[in-house]
Amino acid sequence: MSEIGERDVRAARKRCTTCRQRFVPAAAGARRGLAAYLACATIAAAVALPGEAFADEAFARCLSGLRDDALARGVSAETFARSTGGLEPDMSVLELLDYQPEFKTPLWDYLAALVDDERVADGRAMLDRWGDTLAEVERRYGVDRETVVAVWGVESDYGKSFGKRPLITSLATLSCFGRRQAFFRSEFLTTLRIVQDGHVQSDQLVGSWAGAFGHTQFMPSTFTRVAVDFDGDGRRDIVGSVPDALASTANYLKRAGWKTGEPWGWEVRLPKGFDASLAGRRSKRPLSQWAAMGVHRVDAVAADARAAVLLPAGPSGPAFIVLRNFDAIYSYNAAESYALAIAHLADRLRGAGPIATPWPTDDPGLSRVQRRELQTLLAARGHDIGEIDGMIGARSREAIKAEQARLGMEPDGRAGRKILEALRGAPTGSGRQQGAAPLR
């Protein structure tokens, strides 16, 4: 889940503008119940304190302060007691709060796994299955079905991956320890209101460590702002109701300035000698100006529509014209790579092919099927990489490094085409094959 973790960190950082608390890591490798991190929102100076008992005491004191805030926000004493009774902090979320990935995912790896044939096929099946609902969503919100389904596919793999952490536990911990307590306190109190109002069953309230939940991975405050009851049962349930989730996504995009009937953009060819300093999502000009500069092709919408040229991998990679709807998608998660994944997946769901211009690499990224194949090959060589799930985590990267070194390749730990092809062709000659899984 490292990609989702990184996105969550970025989203949380973007949204938190008020919190200036110092964050004090007292010991690395924190586990539930350990006072590894301590910084109290109510005192100016953060103080590192030893011992599990003190963390529990600090948490209990913090919760009692939160209770007053909750009651002031209309949360009943009963809801608060039921939601927080026996609650223990989960200190592992604090590691994720400050997680700095040592391995930066190249854009082509990110896209290769998020927009692979599997996700396109699954998305087409969902377009078919939820066709009537999506037609009604289009009619009411003016956002096309392929974009809505693409967001769903990237956010939760069409409802298959919501995250596993209990929201109340994560948000209570983040409200009481670590940086950004003000931001997470507000999300925690909002979550209690969502539970109290009966929109989502509290035992279904699981999600990412930062509190994003459901098919659409909304933060609680986003839920409150834009989630809708589309199936008419009186509850806005983005966990248990696909129609509610799809309509809520469309409502989000509509409120983010979606222009009905306009594309997000498209891939373009730049003229020789194009000044790359003109590129950038915020550097908008009328399409007619881009056309005059020789950007090809820019005739799909009105010539006065304002557009930007995007060079997500620099001037030697693919180039895109992006319009207002790209910004609407971007606002969902404040990363151009994310917006491009959604936009491209939507195109693929409409039947378009892959991005035409190659990424500037001689070692392209892997789909999830290929990642699972790579993991199977690593396991066959005796590497303990955990579950073969297509997610390249720390253990898979260590195994890749070892095999790269053995094969005389640059040991960077990256899951790319070269190491996959090298392992496909190489004998399992590491001498550590005991108990190896059979190759498929």
Closer to Ca ion by Cβ: residue 237 or 373: 237
What is the token pair recorded at 368? 């999830």
Size, binding site for Ca ion by CB under 5 A = 7
Closer to Ca ion by Cβ: residue 234 or 314: 234
Closer to Ca ion by Cβ: residue 235 or 324: 235
For the segment 49-108, give every residue that binds Ca ion (CB under 5 A).
none
Least distance to Ca ion, CB of residue 216, Å: 13
CB of 346 closer than 8 Å to CB of 150: yes
Closer to Ca ion by Cβ: residue 10 or 140: 140
Residue (of 225, 254, 231) closest to 142 by Cα position: 254
Strand order in the sheet with 285-286: 265-268, 319-322, 306-310, 285-286
- Stretch near Ca ion under the rule CB under 5 A, chosen from 65-73, 242-250, 318-326, 359-367: 242-250
Least distance to Ca ion, CB of residue 327, Å: 29
Closer to Ca ion by Cβ: residue 157 or 231: 231
How far CA 296 is from CA of 5, 267, 315, in Å, comes to 37, 9, 15
Alpha-carbon distance of 76 to 72, in angstroms, equals 9
Q: Which residues in 5-27 are b (16+ Cβ under 10 Å) and which e?
A: bbbbbebbeebbeebebebbebe
Taking CB under 5 A as the rule, does residue 395 contact Ca ion? no
Residue (of 300, 360, 313, 368) closest to 340 by Cα position: 313
Taking CB under 5 A as the rule, does residue 235 contact Ca ion? yes
CB of 209 closer than 8 Å to CB of 88: no
Residue (of 390, 352, 303) closest to 109 by Cα position: 390
Least distance to Ca ion, CB of residue 237, Å: 5
Alpha-carbon distance of 56 to 50, in angstroms, equals 11
Neighbours of 277 (CB within 10 A): 8
Taking CB under 5 A as the rule, does residue 239 contact Ca ion? no
Least distance to Ca ion, CB of residue 196, Å: 17
Least distance to Ca ion, CB of residue 223, Å: 13
Least distance to Ca ion, CB of residue 107, Å: 37
For the segment 203-232, give every residue that binds Ca ion (CB under 5 A).
229, 231
Closer to Ca ion by Cβ: residue 62 or 227: 227
Least distance to Ca ion, CB of residue 79, Å: 20
Least distance to Ca ion, CB of residue 215, Å: 12
- Paired with 265 in beta bridges are 322
Residue nearest to Ca ion (CB): 229
Closer to Ca ion by Cβ: residue 193 or 418: 193
Alpha-carbon distance of 197 to 294, in angstroms, equals 56
- Stretch near Ca ion under the rule CB under 5 A, chosen from 11-19, 133-141, 244-252, 424-432: 244-252
One of 144, 244, 347, 363 touching Ca ion (CB under 5 A): 244
Binding site for Ca ion (CB under 5 A): 229, 231, 233, 235, 237, 241, 244
